[in-house]
């Protein structure tokens, strides 16, 4: 009996061991139970590189309502002793990557050669004739447009190239294709608030600061030196000949003072530029197409960095030169202040008595309240990586001291309690502004939310975990 009991016990143990192994193998093949651990947030990427597609995939993306991004950056152009010849190509590639993360565009392969005559005296610099650059741009656009797209944005990183792009835009407008481009001169002028140098715009304090922020490994600050002589003409033509050269003498190929460059200055300029380019792309997406046989539409004030002409019927003198430009630049400034989670700077865009009204009726009554609420908001985990875009469209001056602006807003990067990204929220808003000193401040901000987003996105100040005392 004892022997039999031992045998039964051994058989039971063996059976239990087999069942355990079977259960273990079965469990390994199953997905972990729902809710066990947060899912890693997935990046929101809305754009696509055309070169990564097959022709069948490209056919699905190149629809008539698509916006095609055409990067333009010189692959070989002198940038002083401290920057690489491919400096502008690095800029074009970088800005393209950033725009693909935040805008629904199809990015075509970049143009590495174009019209850059100002640097021909410096070895390694390349340029093609104006008519060649014009026709090259137009032909590339035509090749893509024949499959559907009618709106193109050239992410331009040069100054003289804008001349050829303007000519190409006129040609394409007669064919019903709308081409707009980055006005690099206007973009850099809008960033002069961080500048210390007396002047310049090539391999200078601003451009070198941008490269320190984008990729410091391509900058040699130990040999960056001031090389600046005032130029009587724009754009600047540089020469290495101190006596008989045609243009502004520059032995280094620099025009400005790159020794003053810092990474922090570059961050301000780059982030402002990213936001502005995105705004210009969204404006292009909404713009009416030209009719065949007409001239190209003028670039918007946001694209050119200039105030728009007075409309017919508006009393003269109400909008001063640069008013619309200042108001439009509030969009990139707002984006940058939000990204930096700088509540005081963000609230400084409002008048002391200014307010902000939300779709659910909540009204933040003063700039101080807006600052306090944003300071609390930025402390919350859900908003640490968030980005708030503001694209200002039409601006209308009511009087010489009061203006109204229509804008589009978008909030991305907000997470839920588990760290997962929530869907982007977006909508429209109206801003009432008042002239103050040399600029404009917001007196009233009225949020509206798209119906599809309103159903899933509560007011940003009413998310779970926020205090009920928010004013």
Residue at which a domain ends, from 269, 286, 303: 286
Residues 214 and 330 in one domain: no
The pLDDT value recorded for residue 213 is 97
Q: What is the pLDDT of residues 334-382, one digit of tens each?
A: 988 898 899 999 999 999 999 999 887 788 989 999 999 999 989 888 8
Output DSSP code: residue 192: G
Residues 236 and 361 in one domain: no
Residues 360 and 253 in one domain: no
The pLDDT value recorded for residue 185 is 79
Burial readout 62-100 (b: 16 or more C-beta within 10 A, e: otherwise): beeebbbbbbbbbbbbbbbbbbbbbbbbbbbbbbbebbb
Cβ partners under 8 Å of residue 390, min gap 6: 330, 331, 334, 335, 407, 408, 409, 429
The answer to whether residue 399 scores a pLDDT higher than 90 is no
Strand positions, DSSP E, 345-438: 350-357, 363-364, 387-397, 402-412, 425-436
Q: Evaluate whether residue 33 is within a structural domain.
A: no
Mean pLDDT of 268-294: 87
Q: Determine the Cα–Cα distance for residues 354 and 351; give it in Å rounded to an integer.
A: 5
Residues 353 and 245 in one domain: no
Query: What's the mean pLDDT when you consider all of the chain?
Result: 82
Residues 273 and 338 in one domain: no
The answer to whether residue 137 scores a pLDDT higher than 70 is yes
Q: Determine the Cα–Cα distance for residues 378 and 457; give it in Å rounded to an integer.
A: 18
Strand partners, 106: 48, 68
Domain count, the chain: 2
Helix axes 263-286, 330-339, angle to 10 degrees: 130
The pLDDT value recorded for residue 319 is 67
Q: Three-state SS for 124?
A: coil
Mean pLDDT of 238-254: 87
Q: Determine the Cα–Cα distance for residues 407 and 23; give it in Å rounded to an integer.
A: 59
- The band of 27, judged by pLDDT with boundaries at 50, 70 and 90, is very low
The pLDDT value recorded for residue 292 is 65
The pLDDT value recorded for residue 117 is 92
The pLDDT value recorded for residue 360 is 77
The answer to whether residue 387 scores a pLDDT higher than 50 is yes
Residues 369 and 274 in one domain: no
Q: Evaluate whether residue 36 is within a structural domain.
A: no
Share of the chain above pLDDT 90, in %: 52
Residues 124 and 68 in one domain: yes
Q: Evaluate whether residue 311 is within a structural domain.
A: no
The answer to whether residue 166 scores a pLDDT higher than 50 is yes
The pLDDT value recorded for residue 7 is 52
Q: Determine the Cα–Cα distance for residues 226 and 2; give it in Å rounded to an integer.
A: 100
Mean pLDDT of 308-316: 41
The pLDDT value recorded for residue 326 is 85
Name which of 30-34, 286-290, 381-385 the model is least confident about. 30-34
Residues 206 and 328 in one domain: no
Q: Determine the Cα–Cα distance for residues 288 and 221; give it in Å rounded to an integer.
A: 46
The kind and range of the H/E element at 334 are helix 330-339
Burial readout 173-207 (b: 16 or more C-beta within 10 A, e: otherwise): beeebbbbbbbbbbbbebbeebbebebbbbbbbbb
Using the Cα atoms of residue 322, residue 353, residue 383 and residue 446 in order, give the sign of their dihedral.
Answer: negative
What's CA 422's distance to the chain center, in Å?
A: 21
Through-space distance between the first and last CA atoms of the chain, rounded to whole angstroms:
84
The pLDDT value recorded for residue 89 is 97
The pLDDT value recorded for residue 10 is 54
Name which of 74-78, 182-186, 188-192 the model is least confident about. 188-192
Residues 368 and 452 in one domain: yes
Q: Evaluate whether residue 196 is within a structural domain.
A: yes
The answer to whether residue 429 scores a pLDDT higher than 60 is yes
Q: Evaluate whether residue 27 is within a structural domain.
A: no
Domain range enclosing 62: 48-286
Residues 195 and 324 in one domain: no
Q: Determine the Cα–Cα distance for residues 227 and 238; give it in Å rounded to an integer.
A: 11
Residues 228 and 364 in one domain: no
pLDDT, greater one: 455 or 372 = 372
- The band of 5, judged by pLDDT with boundaries at 50, 70 and 90, is low
- The band of 329, judged by pLDDT with boundaries at 50, 70 and 90, is confident
Name which of 80-89, 161-170, 173-182, 352-361 the model is least confident about. 352-361
CATH of the domain at 55: 3.40.50.10310
Residues 326 and 278 in one domain: no
The answer to whether residue 328 scores a pLDDT higher than 80 is yes
Q: Evaluate whether residue 25 is within a structural domain.
A: no
36-50, 61-75, 175-189, 191-205 — which one is most confidently predicted on average?
61-75
The kind and range of the H/E element at 69 are strand 67-72
- The band of 26, judged by pLDDT with boundaries at 50, 70 and 90, is very low
CATH of the domain at 398: 3.10.450.50
Q: Determine the Cα–Cα distance for residues 325 and 230; give it in Å rounded to an integer.
A: 26
- The band of 270, judged by pLDDT with boundaries at 50, 70 and 90, is very high
pLDDT, greater one: 43 or 409 = 409
Q: Evaluate whether residue 136 is within a structural domain.
A: yes
Q: Evaluate whether residue 34 is within a structural domain.
A: no
Name which of 48-62, 290-304, 317-331, 340-354 the model is least confident about. 290-304
Helix ranges restricted to H, 103-175? 130-145, 161-173
């Amino acid at each position: 009996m004892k022997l039999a009991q031992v045998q039964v016990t051994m058989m039971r143990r063996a059976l239990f061991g087999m069942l355990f192994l079977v259960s273990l193998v079965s469990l390994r093949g199953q997905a972990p139970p729902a809710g066990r651990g947060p899912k890693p947030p997935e990046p929101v990427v809305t754009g696509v590189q055309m070169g990564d597609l097959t022709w069948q995939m490209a056919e699905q993306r190149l629809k008539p309502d698509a916006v095609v991004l055409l990067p333009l950056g010189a692959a070989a152009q002198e940038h002083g002793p401290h920057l690489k010849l491919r400096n502008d190509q690095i800029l074009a590639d970088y800005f393209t990557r950033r725009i693909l993360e935040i805008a629904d565009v199809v990015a075509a392969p970049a143009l590495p050669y174009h019209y850059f005559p100002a640097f021909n005296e410096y070895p390694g610099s390349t340029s093609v004739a104006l008519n060649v650059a014009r026709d090259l741009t137009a032909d590339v656009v035509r090749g893509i447009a024949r499959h559907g797209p009618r709106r193109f944005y050239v992410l331009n990183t040069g100054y003289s190239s804008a001349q050829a792009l303007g000519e190409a835009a006129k040609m394409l407008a007669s064919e019903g294709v709308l081409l707009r481009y980055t006005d690099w001169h206007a973009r850099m002028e809008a960033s002069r608030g961080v500048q210390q140098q007396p002047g310049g715009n090539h391999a200078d304090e601003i451009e070198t600061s941008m490269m320190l922020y984008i990729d410091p490994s391509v900058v040699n600050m130990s040999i960056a030196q001031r090389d600046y002589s005032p130029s009587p003409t724009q754009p600047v033509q540089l020469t290495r000949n101190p006596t008989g050269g045609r243009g502004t003498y520059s032995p280094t190929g620099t025009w400005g003072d790159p020794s003053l460059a810092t990474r922090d200055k570059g961050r301000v300029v780059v982030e402002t530029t990213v936001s502005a380019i995105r705004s210009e792309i969204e404006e292009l997406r909404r713009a009416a197409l030209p009719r065949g046989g007409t001239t190209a539409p003028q670039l918007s004030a946001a694209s050119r960095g200039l105030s728009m002409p007075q409309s017919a019927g508006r009393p003269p003198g109400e909008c001063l030169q640069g008013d619309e430009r200042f108001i439009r630049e509030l969009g990139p400034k707002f984006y940058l202040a939000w990204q930096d989670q700088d509540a005081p700077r963000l609230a400084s865009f409002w008048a002391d008595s200014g307010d902000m009204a939300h779709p659910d009726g909540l009204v933040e009554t003063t700039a101080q309240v807006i600052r306090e609420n944003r300071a609390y908001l930025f402390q919350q985990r859900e908003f640490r990586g968030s980005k708030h875009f503001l694209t200002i469209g039409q601006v209308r001056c009511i009087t010489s001291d009061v203006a109204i602006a229509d804008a589009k807003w978008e909030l991305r990067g907000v997470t839920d309690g588990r760290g997962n990204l929530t869907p982007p929220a977006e909508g429209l808003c109206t801003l009432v502004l008042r002239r103050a000193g040399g600029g404009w401040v917001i007196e009233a901000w009225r949020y509206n939310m798209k119906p599809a987003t309103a159903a899933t996105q509560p007011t940003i100040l009413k998310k779970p975990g926020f205090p009920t005392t928010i004013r």
